[in-house]
Structure 1
Amino acid sequence: MTDQERDDIVAEVRELLGTDMFCFQCEQTAKGTGCTVRGVCGKTAETADLEDQLTGALIAFARVVHDAGVERPCAHASLPMIEGLFTCVTNVCFDPEAVREIIARIHERVEHVAESHWLDPADYQDFSMASLWGAPEDVRSLKSLVLFGLRGMAAYAYHARALGYDDQSVDDFFFKALYETSATDDPDKLLALALETGQTNLACMALLDQANTQTYGDPEPRQVELVVEPGPFIVVSGHDLHDLSMLLDQTDGTGVNVYTHGEMLPALAYPELRRHPQLKGNFGTAWQNQQKEFQDIPAPVLFTTNCLMPPRASYEDRVFTTECVAYPGLVHIDADENGHKDFSAVIEKAKELGGYPEAHAFTGINGGTQVTCGFGRETVLEQAPAIVQAVKDGQIKHFFLVGGCDGAKPGRNYFTEFVEKTPQDSVVLTLACGKYRFNDLDLGTVAGLPRLLDMGQCNDAYGAVQVAVALADAFGCGVNDLPLSFVISWYEQKAVAVLLTLLSLGIRDIHLGPSLPAFTSPDVLKALQDNFGLTTISAVDEDLAAMLG
């Protein structure tokens, strides 16, 4: 595609929408309808337009693979597809040059597939996103639901692949789903495709669960004190355990400690990672607080995935990125041809900055001085007989899964209040960064178990599903018949993927908040409400009363 053709597409979108950009994929989208000048996340119109172009190139890639009759795209083809989708997740890539580089690679793959199957590459120009954003409301809504779910699932597939795990059926589905979003406007087919996206995401999360646990062991419960020891240290944010593992190997014996941040907190529970004594604890809270918490931090911060926010001047010289994460002006660390990354620049920056001269204590959002993690799938399932007996004895009367993404939008104190008000004879399962709203609360115990069980990262929704299925089997009923309520907070596209998974499993009456997605049209929302009982959160007392019957 020539520069002029690219500019024509951008102009077409802007003329159609009357805006400089258009993005409504995250929960904090401007005015609850869509970012049209600059992303609330900090993304420029240029980068947003390029990510639309990247998505168009990925759809063109899916189309040429379909037309060429390639039933099983090889790993060489699947990886750029997965990287491209992952790059477009909110708070991942802010660097236009990085997006252009991925677009160029996708164009090379399109040309290669076309020419090797006697097709004309000129027939596979980038798909114009104007035809999606300007589609009839319900069609646009359903296609967005599929596209955003695919972006979230791509992040999980990427992390699994980093550990050497892949699933051909998952890889195939990325191509199939993107092709079908461009090939049909039938609402029934698109809704079925959205639910199939959820089904495939369950397989993808299972793959990542296998990759993490077989590589680093099953998570084990751990109490984490919220304090940073004196001396040089590094903060690692994001989700990728493989990057953390490489960093730990390289910091062995250096005198530099390592602390997790955000969604990396569950890494502290994996036995193979904990064998490194310099993996000390957790720094800070959820992603949206980083600009305050990193103010003048005497240590470097490594972002392995989202959620990166535009760094402030007081610490921008000490932020490093890797994988698909990129921001103009920051040092990016790439892997070599063998997948190895050299983190020596991060380690030297830690030594240069020196860390805190004395122990630096801080608190969670609610003033707590410690948090717990490590109640993964296997740990909870080991307690299943005792849990079942406690339910039969009336000691445990209800379970709540309260998890998902955190964010800065007002209304998220709902989740803190909700957990505080859950009855003493109930158990709260949680996962993802939404737990930072309440994970420093002391909820006590019930039937000898902690009332608050942190199951891990957002992808560990797979483990939560397995626990729910195991309990349903034990009681001889369906998951919807259990005394179990789902209260989900969302922000970006991985939460969309997880939501689609829950819906694909037929789980009903999910409470979603703090607001419903801007990309769901009234008719699509009504269909989800009618078929699955999906609803938005309201007042805590009212919601609790409804859940407890």
Structure 2
Amino acid sequence: MSDMFCFQCEQAVGGKGCTKVGACGKSATTAGKQDELTAALVDLALAVGDKTPEVSTDSLVMRGLFATVTNVNFDDSRLDELLAQVRAETRRLGGGQDFDAAGLWQGDADIVSLRSTLLFGLRGMAAYAWHAFVLGKTDAAVTAWLYKGLREMAAEHTVAEWLGLLMEFGLVNLKCMELLDGANTGAFGHPVPTKVSTVIEPGPFIIISGHDLLDLKELLEQTEGRGVNVYTHGEMLPAHAYPGLKKYSNLKGNFGTAWQNQQKEFDAVPGAVVFNTNCLMPPKPSYADRVFTSAVVAYPGLVHLPATDGRIDYTPAIEKALALGGYQESCELTGINGGKELTTGFGRDAVMGVAGAVIDAVKSGAVKHFLLVGGCDGARPGRNYYTELVEKSPADTVILTLACGKYRFNDLDLGTVGGLPRLLDIGQCNDAYSAIKIALALADAFECGVNDLPLSLVLSWYEQKAVCILLTLLALGIKNIRIGPTLPAFISPNVLGVLVEQFGLTPVGTPEADLAAILAK
């Protein structure tokens, strides 16, 4: 296969789509296999129909959708394995290979736009559902909607019907984020505000990047007492705030910044690196020999860590870390603005624990506005907008943030306001659930709607988990969201017009102009 079509991420070439090779680094062949896998999942969902599938089938659907998320699986052989498993399960259920993968991207531009938006949202929700699944938590409505959403790929709908499905999906994804929140806090406790060092201590170490907290726990257990320290990277940073994880003495700090900087930050690093979910970039030769993948993540030529009963054996990564030996002296890293310490852990439990102080600060006028500035980071020029927006925000604003977009400014010292830190890191992208709960609680306290609060959302997006979160926010009726640095290539002009008219969705402008409009609210 020489050609491809992929427009699911923010880096889509020309703002339209990748047609020769993915901006993420995947080949046209890999893109084709991911489309085949998607089509096979549609066939499987059709074969399931109204039946109650087995748990193993649910797991297969989650993993199959997750494997097609950007920067997850670049390995054709592992995609072939998944494809074979999906087709075998479809045959077992009496189904066949009827859905044509080419049909995903063909047809009326507005229908393709809406169908694609639902598919990309499903991929993001499947990732969240999988993280909950490995912790033993499921929700029948969430799982059922994965099948329903896949079946809709083969159905014909009007624009209005597609929009209705997107709103229905958004509310189901809220259930999914609630499910994952309960799974994480049930297993590891509620996050507490925690300062995280960016100093890498002498000696062997492993960097773990991704989102799956259970995988981190198992790495900490397997490295405990081995003389190997563990450092988080990217979206794993919020793990430091969970009591069930921060108790491990070998969880030391955070290495580096957001995912798109890894090829520079991992260059010849004397430690092992493990990727357990998305955000893997094609590794450079200077460090490819020390990168390991696990779970749904895979890349040709990298060692994929073995698993027994679904749990990961980190022995190869541990042995590599011991052989490399780490830094001889302490290595002090900094954020992109030069900061040397990060703070995380302001989840819903922590923030609502000081709700009285928050409300008093607003009533007294000490806090005039809340800005939620968060989402996915990325490599496209223009993302310095988010740094400047935060830097230029008045001293009487509080900045809520989540996901890896926070690395643009989370090392800034913004001080305090009304006795509260001005910068509150809520956590990972899925912790948008905490942000929603905080907003709803404030609305209750002030006896108003969320859209009437002195709260504005300015979001950055990159991949499919950002899509499902945006659909949840829209389904909840939250309006006037600003999104950037570019609008999704899969949103057609007509669909954008509907989103602007119904929800006030707006592309970001300049930090100065956007702040002026926001603070005039």
Which TM-score band (shorter chain)?
over 0.9
Q: Which residue of 1 aligns with 2:432?
A: 461
Q: Please show how residues 39-54 of structure 1 align to structure 2 within 5 Å.
A: 39-54=22-37
Looking at structure 1, the residues matched to 12 and 450 of structure 2 have their Cα atoms a distance apart, in angstroms, of 33
How many percent of aligned residue pairs carry the same amino acid? 59
Q: Which of 257, 266, 274 in structure 1 is aligned with 2:246?
A: 274
What are structure 2's unaligned runs of at least 5 residues?
Answer: none
Output the amino acid matched with 2:123: R
Q: Which residue of 1 aligns with 2:79?
A: 99
TM-score (norm 1): 0.94
Q: Which residue of 2 aligns with 1:485?
A: 456
Looking at structure 2, the residues matched to 427 and 379 of structure 1 have their Cα atoms a distance apart, in angstroms, of 15
Describe the superposition over 1:340-387 as per-residue Cα deviations: whole angstroms up to 9, x where unpaired: 321111111111000000000011001111111111110001111111
1:429 partner SS = strand
1:182 partner SS = coil
Looking at structure 1, the residues matched to 98 and 207 of structure 2 have their Cα atoms a distance apart, in angstroms, of 39
Q: Please show how residues 115-264 of structure 1 align to structure 2 within 5 Å.
A: 121=95, 124-264=96-236
Per the TM alignment, residue 423 of structure 1 is displaced from its structure 2 partner at its CA by 1.0
Q: Which residue of 2 aligns with 1:23?
A: 6
Looking at structure 1, the residues matched to 216 and 6 of structure 2 have their Cα atoms a distance apart, in angstroms, of 31
Q: Which residue of 2 aligns with 1:399?
A: 370
Describe the superposition over 1:227-279 as per-residue Cα deviations: whole angstroms up to 9, x where unpaired: 10000000000000011000100111111100000000000111111111000
Looking at structure 2, the residues matched to 91 and 196 of structure 1 have their Cα atoms a distance apart, in angstroms, of 27
The yes-or-no answer on 1:334 pairing with 2:306 is yes
Q: Please show how residues 396-545 of structure 1 align to structure 2 within 5 Å.
A: 396-545=367-516
Q: Contact between 2:234 and 2:404, CA under 8 Å: does it hold in 1?
A: yes
Q: Which of 287, 293, 312 in structure 2 is aligned with 1:321?
A: 293
2:411 partner SS = coil
Deviates more, 1:539-548 or 1:88-97: 539-548
Looking at structure 2, the residues matched to 42 and 371 of structure 1 have their Cα atoms a distance apart, in angstroms, of 30
Q: Which residue of 2 aligns with 1:15?
A: none
Looking at structure 2, the residues matched to 240 and 131 of structure 1 have their Cα atoms a distance apart, in angstroms, of 33
Q: Which residue of 1 aligns with 2:47?
A: 64
Describe the superposition over 1:17-61 as per-residue Cα deviations: whole angstroms up to 9, x where unpaired: xx7000000000111100000000000000000000000001111
Per the TM alignment, residue 515 of structure 1 is displaced from its structure 2 partner at its CA by 0.4
Looking at structure 2, the residues matched to 468 and 230 of structure 1 have their Cα atoms a distance apart, in angstroms, of 43
2:311 partner SS = coil
Q: Which of 80, 88, 105 in structure 1 is aligned with 2:68?
A: 88
Q: Contact between 1:237 and 1:264, CA under 8 Å: does it hold in 2?
A: yes
Looking at structure 2, the residues matched to 23 and 425 of structure 1 have their Cα atoms a distance apart, in angstroms, of 43
Output the amino acid matched with 2:449: G
Looking at structure 2, the residues matched to 532 and 138 of structure 1 have their Cα atoms a distance apart, in angstroms, of 18
Output the amino acid matched with 2:14: K
Per the TM alignment, residue 128 of structure 1 is displaced from its structure 2 partner at its CA by 1.1
The yes-or-no answer on 1:73 pairing with 2:56 is no
Looking at structure 2, the residues matched to 207 and 63 of structure 1 have their Cα atoms a distance apart, in angstroms, of 26
Output the amino acid matched with 1:511: R
Looking at structure 1, the residues matched to 168 and 407 of structure 2 have their Cα atoms a distance apart, in angstroms, of 31
Per the TM alignment, residue 186 of structure 1 is displaced from its structure 2 partner at its CA by 1.5
Q: Contact between 2:482 and 2:505, CA under 8 Å: does it hold in 1?
A: yes
TM-score (norm 2): 0.99
Describe the superposition over 1:272-320 as per-residue Cα deviations: whole angstroms up to 9, x where unpaired: 1111100000000000000000000000000010100000000000000
Looking at structure 1, the residues matched to 98 and 126 of structure 2 have their Cα atoms a distance apart, in angstroms, of 20
Q: Which residue of 1 aligns with 2:355?
A: 384
Output the amino acid matched with 2:394: P
Looking at structure 1, the residues matched to 369 and 7 of structure 2 have their Cα atoms a distance apart, in angstroms, of 35
Looking at structure 2, the residues matched to 108 and 126 of structure 1 have their Cα atoms a distance apart, in angstroms, of 14
Question: Alpha carbon RMSD of aligned pairs, Å?
Answer: 0.9
What are structure 1's unaligned runs of at least 5 residues?
Answer: 1-9, 11-18, 115-120
Q: Which residue of 1 aligns with 2:337?
A: 366
Q: Contact between 1:404 and 1:431, CA under 8 Å: does it hold in 2?
A: yes
Describe the superposition over 1:54-90 as per-residue Cα deviations: whole angstroms up to 9, x where unpaired: 0000111111122xx31x3231211111111000000
Looking at structure 1, the residues matched to 510 and 483 of structure 2 have their Cα atoms a distance apart, in angstroms, of 12
Looking at structure 1, the residues matched to 399 and 21 of structure 2 have their Cα atoms a distance apart, in angstroms, of 38
Q: Which residue of 1 aligns with 2:91?
A: 111
The yes-or-no answer on 1:32 pairing with 2:15 is yes
Q: Contact between 2:197 and 2:252, CA under 8 Å: does it hold in 1?
A: no
Per the TM alignment, residue 416 of structure 1 is displaced from its structure 2 partner at its CA by 0.1
Consecutive aligned runs of 4 or more in structure 1 exceeding 3 Å deviation: none
Q: Which residue of 2 aligns with 1:14?
A: none
Looking at structure 1, the residues matched to 327 and 104 of structure 2 have their Cα atoms a distance apart, in angstroms, of 51
Q: Contact between 1:73 and 1:171, CA under 8 Å: does it hold in 2?
A: no
Looking at structure 1, the residues matched to 314 and 102 of structure 2 have their Cα atoms a distance apart, in angstroms, of 41
Q: Contact between 2:69 and 2:124, CA under 8 Å: does it hold in 1?
A: yes
Output the amino acid matched with 1:168: A
Looking at structure 2, the residues matched to 310 and 354 of structure 1 have their Cα atoms a distance apart, in angstroms, of 24
Looking at structure 1, the residues matched to 172 and 359 of structure 2 have their Cα atoms a distance apart, in angstroms, of 30
Aligned residues: 520
Q: Which residue of 2 aligns with 1:300?
A: 272
Output the amino acid matched with 1:77: T
Q: Contact between 1:21 and 1:45, CA under 8 Å: does it hold in 2?
A: yes
Q: Contact between 2:258 and 2:407, CA under 8 Å: does it hold in 1?
A: yes
2:407 partner SS = helix
Per the TM alignment, residue 126 of structure 1 is displaced from its structure 2 partner at its CA by 4.6
1:27 partner SS = coil
Q: Which of 217, 232, 237 in structure 2 is aligned with 1:265?
A: 237
Looking at structure 2, the residues matched to 274 and 63 of structure 1 have their Cα atoms a distance apart, in angstroms, of 44
Q: Contact between 2:305 and 2:316, CA under 8 Å: does it hold in 1?
A: no
Output the amino acid matched with 2:58: S
Looking at structure 2, the residues matched to 141 and 52 of structure 1 have their Cα atoms a distance apart, in angstroms, of 16
